[in-house]
Chains A and B, each alone.
Chain A
Amino acid sequence: MKIGIPKSLLYYYYYPLWKTYFEELGFEVVSTPATSKSIIDLGIKHSVPELCVPIKVYIGHFLKLLEENVDYIYVPRFISVLKGQYFCPKFMGLPDMIRHSFEGIEEKMLMPSITAKNDNIAEYNNFRPLEEKLAISPKANKKALEKACKIWESFRNYCYLGYTVVEASDLALGNIKEAKILPAKASVTIGVVGYVYNLYDSYISMDIVKKLREMDVSVKTFEMLNENSLNKKIKTMAKNLFWTFSDKLIGAGYSFYDDENIDGVIHVTAFGCGPDSFIGKLLELDSPVYEKPFMTIRVDEHSGENHLQTRIEAFVDMIKRKKLKAKRGA
């Protein structure tokens, strides 16, 4: 049996877990190719215009999977991975948007709800709903989960070491051996604030992380920060903030502002994201307070690559000059 997983949204965060889990149960996991113009266009064509780019991209991938002859498509409903905090409404309503938009699609969808105490969603209750449809026994289910959990933990440990989620995923799944993909001691460190589904989708972010590394910049992102200390940071900030992943981003943003080893912050945001709009505004207003350079990069369906290159080059140069000056002054 073939299970399809769209290469979009939290795929970038949970793929090692999902792939291990389904394969352990003896299913074949089918995913979509990297986002392309045709996938985005497919998504745009089948969604309401005001939706944010990432959700449109997801719908594109979903439809693409239908062409692959899969038996089921896994579209989990993310509700909460932290007590009292929730996902962006579009995540919580994602399965509903899809099943009510395409006639007869519902039977093909696996849409268990996900609620967990922390980012590690390998809890039995999140996967038990699959038992009936996929005809698996509780025992096999639990066993597969155990394995998936281990792989995911190792994936996270690679993240903490400074690998991007793409690298960490490859490492955890054993696709590559320990590699020297971390830049050696870089002259500049930049905190990049952005959702995994934007930063690591090469089409959406035009590989900004790679581009920065090529400029001899060491990059930090939210998933490289320890989950517990990030949560603590968020708690000290305000009583009520945004939604889970938006919270992580803003927590990361301020952690970067506080961290003296980080020289500047770049916010990468996709067209149409409300929560990002707030995060960007707060970080922008507070950039002078913390005396750290800040820049927003907004990507949409047609942002140009050259333009991006020029902007990040200018930003990095500015930081390098600033550092040089400080050194001379000292």
Chain B
Amino acid sequence: MRVSFPYMGTTVVYKKLLELLGHEVIMPPKPSQHTINLGVKYSPEFACFPMKVITGSYLQAAELGAEVIITSGGHGPCRAGFYEQVHRRILKEEGFDIDFIVFNSMFRDSKQFFKNIMKLKGNSSWLKVGQSLFMVYDMIRKLDKLEKRVQKIRAYEIKKGEATRVWDIIQNQFDRANCKGSIQKAFYDGSQQLDQIKTYNVNEKEKMRIGIVGEIYVVMEASINMKMEELLGNLGAEVERSQYLSQWVAYNALPAFINQTHEVEILKKGEPYIPINIGGHAKQTVGHIVDYSQRGFDGVIHLMPFGCLPELVSQSIIPKISQSLNIPVLTLSIDEQSGTANSLTRVEAFIDLIKGKRIKKIS
């Protein structure tokens, strides 16, 4: 099968899994202004921004010859299959008859999950499927580990842009790895390359740490969020995201009763503000803000896609959280206009404000 998938974050891992299962992968192009324009043109006006970008992305993948699109309830949609129906219909209207395989947590709909696996399995043996899954999970974890380091080093690198460059190289190396040994090697090499980046020595007390929270797609996908992590890094801040792929996998792949992942804890922290799961990542968003404040972070950037229903709820509540926990939070709405000078200025001003606050604290 010629398969494709929505572009989000470290895409090498999805590609790898599909290749291991013997499929021909159509890499969706990284979202560009063109992707966004396409998406905006063909999507409903008040659809949330990720839905629009993904529409554009699918259209591009379809043009490149994709026959099947694999997506998941966690790559944006608030709820299982939320907009797959509409995507299917839009693509059909444009003359592309594309099949969708939508993955959700195995425990929400195990029958469907199994059916999907069967479709993807193709001619591979079960052993092969199991091995591939394990290998890719291993890869995700290693990539996440390295990325977390990148997010710290970036703040102190002497040559601006070096950490980002190395991170690209690392992802490439992983892309070429296809056995346990070569993954191990890619990890080892990557760590070494990161070690070699020259950095300023900054006193532990002077380090500034910023958390990024919000809806998963805009948090994970740098090409549509003004490269927020790089931006903050260049302004001298260490960055941590509310979502990493390995956490997402762990959370969605474990049954509730043994699910003691980080995510479960975060959800608990969100409870005083939003007691139930209202869809999307709203509850995680508030939970993470609480968590970051408890861990002594200096501030939080809240990324919210235009038209995102659950994040509108969290946005309404954030002023109160920010005030009662005394942690600065900047909400940025992400749409086809973001990345303009105006949003940049707001981020810079926010960081200045935090710096000012620190100076006051010290003196």
Task: Name A residues whose Cβ lies closer than 8 Å to a Cβ of B.
Answer: 47-48, 50-51, 77, 79, 86, 88-90, 92-93, 96-97, 100-101, 113, 238-243, 272-278, 280-282, 285-286
CB contacts (< 8 Å) of B315 on chain A: these are: 48, 50
The chain A residue with its CB closest to the CB of B88 is: A238
How far, in angstroms, from A113 to B86 measured CA to CA in the complex?
Answer: 31
Cβ–Cβ contact A89 & B278, under 8 A: yes
How far, in angstroms, from A278 to B274 measured CA to CA in the complex?
Answer: 26
Ranked 3 nearest A-B pairs via Cβ: A93-B313, A240-B81, A277-B44
Cβ–Cβ contact B279 & A100, under 8 A: no
* Cβ-based interface call for B180 (8 A): no
Task: Name B residues whose Cβ lies closer than 8 Å to a Cβ of A.
Answer: 43-48, 78-86, 89-90, 93, 102, 112, 273-276, 278-280, 282, 306-310, 312-317, 319-321, 333
Tell which of B273, B274, B316, B317 has the most Cβ of chain A within 10 Å.
B316
How far, in angstroms, from A243 to B48 measured CA to CA in the complex?
Answer: 15
How far, in angstroms, from A285 to B80 measured CA to CA in the complex?
Answer: 23
Say whether, besides A239-B112, A274-B46, A274-B47, A48 and B82 are in contact (CB < 8 Å): no
CB contacts (< 8 Å) of A274 on chain B: these are: 46-48, 307-309
CB contacts (< 8 Å) of A241 on chain B: these are: 81, 85
Cβ–Cβ contact A89 & B280, under 8 A: yes
Cβ–Cβ contact B85 & A50, under 8 A: no
The answer, among B89, B275, B313, for a CB contact under 8 Å with A90, is: B313
The answer, among B273, B279, B314, for a CB contact under 8 Å with A86, is: B279
The chain A residue with its CB closest to the CB of B277 is: A92
Shortest Cβ distance from A234 into chain B, in angstroms? Answer: 12
The chain A residue with its CB closest to the CB of B108 is: A84
CB contacts (< 8 Å) of B310 on chain A: these are: 89, 93
How far, in angstroms, from A100 to B333 measured CA to CA in the complex?
Answer: 21
Say whether, besides A86-B79, A89-B282, A281-B86, A79 and B276 are in contact (CB < 8 Å): yes
Shortest Cβ distance from A197 into chain B, in angstroms? Answer: 16
Known contacts A96-B313, A241-B81; 15 additional CB pairs below 8 A are A48-B315, A50-B306, A79-B276, A92-B278, A92-B313, A93-B274, A96-B317, A100-B273, A101-B316, A101-B319, A240-B84, A272-B46, A274-B309, A277-B45, A278-B83
Cβ–Cβ contact A278 & B44, under 8 A: yes
Cβ–Cβ contact B46 & A92, under 8 A: no
How far, in angstroms, from A102 to B30 measured CA to CA in the complex?
Answer: 43
Shortest Cβ distance from B325 into chain A, in angstroms? Answer: 13
Say whether, besides A50-B312, A93-B310, A281-B86, A240 and B47 are in contact (CB < 8 Å): no
Shortest Cβ distance from B41 into chain A, in angstroms? Answer: 13
The answer, among A77, A90, A96, A276, for a CB contact under 8 Å with B273, is: A96
The chain A residue with its CB closest to the CB of B320 is: A100
How far, in angstroms, from A276 to B307 measured CA to CA in the complex?
Answer: 12
